[in-house]
Amino acid sequence: MTDNARQYELELPPRASALVESLRDMGYSLKTALADVVDNSITASARKIQLFADTHEEIPAIGILDDGTGMTKSELFEAMRPGTRSPLDTRDATDLGRFGLGLKTASFSQCRRLTVVARKGEELSAAVWDLDMVAKRDRWVVEVPSKPKGLRWADKLRANGTLVIWEKLDRLVAIDQPTDSKDLVRQLGGAAKHLEFVFHRFLSGREKGRIRISLNGVRLEPFDPFHFAHPSTQHHQIEDMSLDGRPIRIWPVTLPHHEKVSKTDWTRYEGPQGYVANQGFYLYRNRRLIVHGTWFRLARKLELTKLARVGIDIPNTMDAEWKIDVKKASAQPPPPVRKRLAKIVDRLGSASQQTYRGRGTRQAARNRLPVWMRVQNKNRVSYDIAQEHPTLQAFRDGLTADQAGEYDRLLRLVSSSLPIDSLHHDVSASPEAVSATALPKSDIRALANDLIHILRARGVPPEAIADRLRSADPFRTQLADIADLLDGLDS
């Protein structure tokens, strides 16, 4: 007898009770799980997506209702099957799905009971995955309710569409203890912000038809990390490339300097992690944000490049090349794209740095009476008190030789004690919060008067004196206090 004659096939299906629990631990959070379900709604051509949350009920629940194409009973049963589609299958160009697992794995990660109600035409159907029943029977069986209309929120499904219901929220609240509604509300608030971020291009409707998403009746507003509409946002050259005939679009921008935007906008676009953390590439798959705030190890995140952001658009046919995971939350550029991105990083880094360095240079050039001097010696930069400042010089000229020596040592002490580390930390963390101390009105007027007399004695014309004071600190930031003095010079 040959070896081939002894061979036979043995089917070994996974144990339902074991595998279904493993499917719950794929790394989803509430916000990424909700985003995955919203993906399905958008793929089903939904224009309106409503999120419901019964947070104060004895048995809390979350619902996601859309007005998409809906499903027949047979389509619903297929959609409830784990792994309903292979990631290798050709998908519609607008499909946001990936592995055919999103609805199930995302839902199981947050709840033990998943109900899906679907309407298509006059047909209303429902199916339920109850993980406690799956574990008890150790079989892949779904419940099919006889009266779908009686299910929670099902009365809102009056036309084509789909309703997803999460119950037994054991990953969000303790099932056998009183519900901590405050914590659940906090998590839902964070999830809403995440959806405003991930789906901002759908919510804005700037490119295609607008999609509306709401949470308990409150409409979500798009959060565009590129501040696209602000006039001070710098839009750099768009680059188009292809990989095996599939298009990739790369669009770099430099965000506005904090002095060009309102304090509210500056804080909003900073995000919880800050500008330094949020610089980098923003990868979109069919306009849906996948990953953000990374340079893909092509560059370091620096303070001077914190305003640099680069959008990348790819189609859903590149998932394998970009190594997009099941949660659609991580990716890596393929080698040919990586080389192109490296060149863009170099150019954009220079532009972002120029936003800060250029501004500093322009301000220094305008200041005709600097109190501090920037001194660069090769690669080292230091700051010294400008002893040639007219007020400082006039004061020194009135001292004896011994007093002048002590005065010079005092200025060197002040210059050498500049708190570089503290300044760097504060400016890096929140530059808009760092400012010079305002002088009392009496001091600013006295200093301005003294300076006017000194410059007049040097033969400087009145209009030039006024111009210098308007450009110099601390006068330029407190012009209202010396307006009458400057008007006298101009007249």
CA distances from 185 to 33, 38, 181, 189, 212 (A): 16, 19, 6, 6, 21
- pLDDT band for 386, please (50, 70, 90 cuts): confident
Residue 282 lies in a domain: yes
CA distances from 195 to 198, 396, 487 (A): 5, 63, 55
Q: Are residues 306 and 402 in the same domain?
A: no
Residue 136 lies in a domain: yes
Q: Are residues 209 and 296 in the same domain?
A: no
The last residue of a domain, from among 190, 219, 248 = 219
Residue 306 lies in a domain: yes
CATH code assigned at 173: 3.30.565.10
Whole-number pLDDT of residue 362 = 46
CATH code assigned at 351: 3.30.230
Q: Are residues 37 and 179 in the same domain?
A: yes
Distance separating alpha carbons of residues 485 and 447, to the nearest angstrom: 11
What are the helix (H) ranges across 299-437?
A: 319-322, 335-366, 390-397, 401-416, 420-429
Q: Are residues 201 and 263 in the same domain?
A: no
* 156, two tokens: 């809102």
Residue 182 lies in a domain: yes
Number of separate domains in the chain: 4
Q: Are residues 60 and 200 in the same domain?
A: yes
Q: What is the pLDDT of residues 316-333, one digit of tens each?
A: 899 889 998 877 778 999
Comparing 409 with 271, which gets the higher pLDDT?
409
Q: Are residues 427 and 472 in the same domain?
A: no
Q: What is the pLDDT of residues 330-372, one digit of tens each?
A: 899 999 999 999 988 878 766 555 555 544 444 445 567 888 8
Q: Are residues 67 and 136 in the same domain?
A: yes
Across 235-245, average pLDDT: 92
The last residue of a domain, from among 219, 247, 262 = 219
The last residue of a domain, from among 434, 450, 466 = 434
Phi, psi of 304 (to 5 degrees): -75, -15
Q: Are residues 418 and 456 in the same domain?
A: no
Which residues does 437 contact at the CB level (< 8 Å), separation at least 6? Answer: none
Q: What is the pLDDT of residues 421-453, one digit of tens each?
A: 888 777 766 676 777 888 899 999 999 999 899
Residue 371 lies in a domain: no
Comparing 219 with 264, which gets the higher pLDDT?
219
Q: Are residues 423 and 475 in the same domain?
A: no
Q: Are residues 138 and 210 in the same domain?
A: yes
Beta strands in 416-489 (DSSP E): none
Report the run of H or E that residue 241 belongs to, with start and end: strand 239-243
Q: Are residues 354 and 402 in the same domain?
A: no
Residue 149 lies in a domain: yes
Q: If we measure between CA atoms, which residue out of 208, 212, 165 comes closest to residue 63?
A: 165
Residue 332 lies in a domain: yes
Distance separating alpha carbons of residues 122 and 120, to the nearest angstrom: 6
Q: What is the DSSP letter of 394?
A: H
Across 376-400, average pLDDT: 86
Whole-number pLDDT of residue 239 = 93
Residue 404 lies in a domain: yes
- Residue 268 domain boundaries: 234-361
Q: Are residues 264 and 394 in the same domain?
A: no
Which neighbouring-strand residues pair with 81?
Answer: none
- pLDDT band for 410, please (50, 70, 90 cuts): very high
First to last CA, the chain: 117
Whole-number pLDDT of residue 475 = 87
